[in-house]
Amino acid sequence: MGCFFVSKHSKKMMSADVIAQYMEVFRCPICFGQMRMVHLQSLICTNQHCFDVSKQGYVNLLSRAFKTKYDKRMFESRRTICRSGFFEPLNALISDTIIHRLRTNERTKVLDTGCGEGSLLTNIQEKINQNKTNPLLAVGIDISKEGISSAAAEYSNAIWCVADMANCPFADHQFNIILNILSPANYSEFQRMIAHDGLVIKVIPERDYLKELRDIYYEGSPKQFYSNDNTLDHFKENFELTDVESVRYQVTLDDTLIEPLLRMTPLSWGTTEERLHKVQEMNLQQITIDLTILYGKK
């Protein structure tokens, strides 16, 4: 749900209150000590490492600063695309899988690793909460401060953290579900954080994902096509593969979605201005979504 009418002060207090209710999930990213919420203002560990709750309601738990290419404009484009229903079939499949695993009285905790601006996690959470009496705890992390700031400003449904996936600020075995959607992974951290009977859900692009863009951006180069052999093998080395689902469909594009589509993906980073203009002038009518969902457990 959006937070258009919530003041920044209220937003900070609301977020801090939710974090305080779930202190057991956190650990200090510097010393790995236990953490507590102090005066609904800051997360402080037993060794006094301190991380403040921002005005927007997120917590920056990076132990050092990172620079990324992901900027505000890219995340705005992603939100426009997500809200158009672009990923609706994917979200529905993931939500149904989680719903069927839920126990009636269990407090389910979901971590989205590489959540960006939060729209996918929010959509999945809303679908699950429609079918579950106990509210779901959703936690989204991303190394991009721009992405998490955007998520926290827009959505009040989750705990949002700027964090390094290679050094996640969470205690062992805390999450029933770990999502990793079109994002790099850190399987050693996933193994540490997932509950003993938990499920890791990873979404990877297949050969034809956004192929209309790739055919123009990378025509004649090795990047024109995806290959997921290494990704699948690496997943199976770290988790027992319990299920695989293919998600393939066409999205019809209207004029308002062309530019956000071009700007939401890193595909354009390695191409020329000439090819960017070529895509814009093509007036694409459809785009291909071709994904695989991997389900794994310890």
Residues near 293 by beta carbon (within 8 Å), at least 6 away in sequence: 90, 93, 94, 201, 202, 203, 243, 244, 245, 246, 247
For 242, residues 6+ apart whose C-beta sits below 8 A from its C-beta are: 199, 295, 296, 297
- Whole-angstrom Cα distance, residue 288 to residue 226? 13
Residue 125, C-beta contacts closer than 8 angstroms, at least 6 positions apart: 110, 136, 138, 157, 158
- What 3-state DSSP class applies to 200? strand
Tokens (6 digits) for 278? 């070529």
Q: What CA–CA distance (Å, rounded) separates 229 from 231?
A: 6
Q: Which two tokens stand for residue 115?
A: 């959540």
**pLDDT per residue of the chain (298 residues) written in tens, 0 to 9:** 444 444 556 888 888 899 999 999 999 999 999 999 998 899 999 999 999 999 999 999 998 877 777 788 889 999 999 999 999 999 999 999 999 887 656 788 999 999 999 999 999 999 998 887 677 899 999 999 999 999 999 998 899 999 999 999 999 999 999 999 999 999 999 999 999 999 999 999 998 999 888 887 766 665 656 667 789 999 999 999 999 999 999 999 888 888 888 888 877 666 667 766 777 777 788 999 999 999 999 8
Calpha distance 2→127 (Å, rounded): 15
